[in-house]
Amino acid sequence: MPTVAPLDLEGHCIATAFLGGVPHFALADGVVHRLDHGHKWTELHDGLLSTAYDAARSRLITGGEDGKVCALGAGDAVEVLAEIGKKWVTSVAAGPQGAIAYATGKTASVRFSDGKVKDFVHPRSVEGIAFAPKGMRIGVARYNGATLHFPATEGKPVELEWAGAHTGITFSPDGNYLVTTMQENALHGWRLADGKHMRMSGYPLKVKSLSWSVKGKWLASSGAPAAIVWPFVGKDGPMGKAPLELGTRGNAAVTCVACHPSEEIVAIGYNDGMIIAARFADQKEVLLRRPGKGAITAMAWDDEERRIAFGSETGDCGVIDIAG
């Protein structure tokens, strides 16, 4: 039986992460809590807005209302990577070779591990930012599409157009697809080889959480009474195929999804705080956490694939041990 070790905090949890095996909980007030032989915390920002987990370096990249970009590593190691001023850092991303990226207003910036920064100014606001899995390439979600930049070279950007406001962005782990969340209740995708469009719509709510399954075969998403899981196997991706609908509940909405690191299983968090795990193959479900105070906003698996650190908009966080 799964067991839950609760951590009751005050405030909206933006992200959770295991850093050096220790569960961390990053709250909107800028304080990152951790369960490391007791409850400890670090104040990173005056207001946290955006986070990205840097798996290669086991650190959490954070962007704040204070215009700072920080990296929090295991053992409470804090590094300030950028200080922009008074503007909000609305999106951050972690890339290869220690590079990170961040967005403020219309500017997307890439900071290389040697501290050199390259800015890309856009005609409209940068809504989301992500690194491609291979090569030094970033994708920017913007109004009416996405833009790809190659920060290590002077190459021209690649513009991908699709009408509407694109608010978030992710590359598939094999680098073949780019998917954006939109202001409307839909995802949009491009096959990067030929720019072919993929429309993934029909959500009753905005999609705020995306998670790629192992090897990028599936993309799980929130925004419906079930986790909507699109197949990205085969050369056409999800086109012409129906998604899986896992963990359907009549009276609740999925607000957060996190795929298992090595198996085709997804942890599904709902707006009432409940968390389940569902297996793609047979749609079998296991209850991991009963409903709590508020919507699940963050989940992360540990490297041992045994624990999930979760957080909610009301601060009732915790760690689920799957094996119990």
Partner 1 sequence: MSEAQTQIPVTVLTGYLGSGKTTLLNRILSENHGKRYAVIVNEFGEIGIDNDLIVESDEEIYEMNNGCVCCTVRGDLIRVVEGLMRRPGRFDAIVVETTGLADPVPVAQTFFMDDDVRSKTKLDAVVALVDAKHLPLRLKDSREAEDQIAFADVVLLNKTDLVTPEELRDVEATIRAINPAATIHRTTRAGVPLETVLDRGAFDLKRVLENDPDFLEAHDHDHDHECGPDCGHDHHHHDHDHDHHHHHDHASPIHDVTVQSVSLRGGVMDQKKFFPWIEKVTQLEGPNILRLKGIIAFKDDPDRYVIQGVHMIVEGDHQRAWKDDEKHESRLVFIGRKLDEERLRRSFEACQAA
Binding site for partner 1 (CB under 8 A): 11-12, 14, 28-29, 47, 49, 65, 86-88, 90, 105-106, 124-125, 127, 143, 163-165, 167, 182-184, 205-206, 313
For residues 50 and 64, what is the distance between their CA atoms, to the nearest angstrom? 7
Among the listed residues 281, 270, 275, 158, the one whose alpha carbon sits nearest the alpha carbon of residue 229: 281
> 103 to each of 27, 64, 91, 132, 300, how far by Cα in Å?
20, 11, 5, 16, 23
In the complex, least distance from residue 181 CB atom to partner 1, rounded to whole angstroms: 13
**Nearest residue (CB) to partner 1, 50 versus 213:** 50
CB of 311 to partner 1, least distance (A): 12
Nearer to partner 1, 205 or 286 (CB): 205
Shortest gap between Cβ of 90 and partner 1 (angstroms)?
A: 6
| Cβ nearer to partner 1, comparing 208 with 279 | 208
The CB-of-124 to partner 1 minimum distance in angstroms stands at 6
Q: 2-38: buried (b, 16+ CB within 10 Å) or exposed (e) per residue?
A: bebeebebebbbbbbbbbeebbbbbbbbbbbbbbbee
User: Which has the closest alpha carbon to 61: 41, 84, 44?
Assistant: 44
Number of residues written out for the chain: 324
Say if residues 226 and 270 touch (Cβ distance below 8 Å).
no
Structure tokens at 268: 């599904």
Residue number with CB closer to partner 1 (118 or 206): 206
Least distance between partner 1 and beta carbon 268 (Å): 20
Instruction: Decide if 222 contacts 203 (C-beta within 8 A).
Output: no
15 vs 246, which CB is nearer to partner 1?
15
Query: Is the Cβ of residue 272 or residue 302 nearer to partner 1 in the bound state?
Result: 272
Instruction: Give min distance, CB of 186 to partner 1, in A.
Output: 8
